[in-house]
Amino acid sequence: MKSSESIGSGSVAPTAQLIVYGRAKCHLCEEMIAALQQLQKQVPFNFEVVDIDYDPELKSLYNDYVPVLMALPGQQKICHYHLDVTALNTYLAETC
């Protein structure tokens, strides 16, 4: 995982912008990213992956909670550890 990498759905202009705070070699992070990529096939949104180990402030905030899925702008936390599809769908329904 790079310090920051953007992953988008490609063909549809998304309305939701999300961020995954995680770290390299984190199996929960990899699982959340894979689940988000699968969900993008059904629902248009973009997400960015940020490795917290490159930023001391992010590491102090999220070290014990990675992966953390946040909504942008506003840094609204949607879920952590595992993708909560219900919480994400609720957020997407409210913002789209």
pLDDT in tens, 9-47: 444 444 799 999 999 999 999 999 999 999 999 988 999
Looking at per-residue pLDDT, the higher value among 75 and 28 belongs to 28
Give the separation between CA 37 and CA 2, rounded to whole angstroms: 17
Q: What is the mean pLDDT of residues 67-83?
A: 95
Name residue 32's amino acid. Answer: M
The H-or-E segment that residue 17 falls in is strand 16-22
**For position 12, what pLDDT does the model report?**
46
Q: What is the model's pTM?
A: 0.85
User: Residue 8 pLDDT > 70, yes or no?
Assistant: no
CATH number of 4-95: 3.40.30.10
Pairing of strands 45-51, 16-22: parallel
